[in-house]
Structure 1
Amino acid sequence: MMTVIHIMDDQDELQIGFSDIEKYHGRLALMAVAVAFRAQQAAFKELFGDRVPQRKEIKIISGHAGPGFRDSFEFVTRALTRGQYTVDVQYPQGQYDPHRPQAYAFVISTLAGDAVEVVLKESFLPAVFYDYLKKGREGTMTDAEQEQFRQLKLSLSEQALALPQDELLDVRRIS
């Protein structure tokens, strides 16, 4: 797996590693940070091949409203800052959470209209992950459950970074 994302910021080529985004985001939603990191790698490869993309040419639709996904996409592309980041929790692909609408799917596109849909594999997140999320929203998680959830998110982030792309993500060009 490539350990960095290369992206142009005008004339400067940046090399952004997962650890850079982790420093920005913190450890709250590391699984989401890792999945978004890998989603960007996959989308950029599909959209740009070996060419390093310009931040300013990238637009993102995220099916998930969580801060880990948002922060990963923002750190790499600055799409939120540039007004090119949209959240659509009703996006039809990647609707795995049994407790609420929230899609683990992302459309990464160029301003010229080329687009790639990246969807997290349904089998990646265990059912207990969604149950922990629900308890967290309700404020009913015990201290022990909070620690178990923290450990689960850490483990899932490590898996997301280590798995071959085709075992983690479904990637398809949509335009």
Structure 2
Amino acid sequence: MSVIRVRDRNQVLELSFHDVTKYHGSLALMAVAVGFRTLQAAFAELFGEEAPERKELSILSGHAGPGFRDVFEYVTRAVTRGAYQVDVDYPVAQFDPHRPQSYAYVITAADGRAVEVALLDSFLPAEFYDYLKKGREQTMTEQDVHDFEKLKLALSERALALPQHELLTIKRIA
């Protein structure tokens, strides 16, 4: 399993997807997996093989969900440091037909270099958004809950297994 490398002062931490799930739990596994891959892609684009310093990263997330927030917090501590912002109206990767919610993320280094990482529109099936809507409306049956959990697990496994170019687009924006 691949890891994300990040510096915390003089120590280089190697954080795995499994490490992040210990922090987050299993509520939003798809989001944790996509967020994990997002950070891997952003770090590779901005820093190459170097491990970035946690305190020098800021994140704009187009998605307000706990899975994305938790992976970004666990790896960068951006939420705790006040370097995390959510903009569900971010104009890229607006795939949810039921509400504004972007699946795009901007990771910025302290020197101003920034990269936009967006989920490909083909990754999430329509039923995923329908389950989210049912959950917000509190109309999920026990079977819906079971089926949605299975779907989120399958999507997390797929997000971790796909080649990066089949999951994400990466665009240098500064």
TM-score exceeds 0.5 = yes
Please tell me the root mean square deviation across aligned C-alpha atoms, in Å. Answer: 0.6
- Residue aligning to 1:106: 105
Q: Which amino acid aligns with 2:147?
A: Q
Q: Superposed, which structure 2 residues align to 1:27-106 within 5 Å?
A: 27-106=26-105
Q: List per-residue Cα deviations over 1:111-169 (Å, max 9, x = no partner).
A: 22100000000000000000000000000000001000000000000000000000000
* Structure 2 match to 1:121: 120
Aligned partner of 2:166 in structure 1 is 167
Deviation of the 1:7 alpha carbon: 0.4
Matches within 5 A, 1:11-30: 11-30=10-29
The share of aligned pairs that are identical, in percent, is: 64
- Counterpart in 1 of 2:130? 131
Q: Report the TM-score when normalising by structure 1.
A: 0.98
Amino acid at match of 2:33: A
Task: Note the alpha carbon deviations across 1:91-121, whole angstroms, 9 max, x for none.
Answer: 0001000000000000001122100000000
Distance 2:31 2:60 in 1: 15
C-alpha displacement of 1:28: 0.3
Amino acid at match of 2:157: E
- Moved segments of 4+, more than 3 Å: none
Q: Is residue 156 from structure 1 mapped to residue 155 from structure 2 by the alignment? A: yes
Gaps in structure 2 of 5+ consecutive residues? none
Give the structure-2-normalised TM-score.
Answer: 0.99
Deviation, structure 1 residue 173: 0.3
Which letter does structure 2 place at the counterpart of 1:4? V
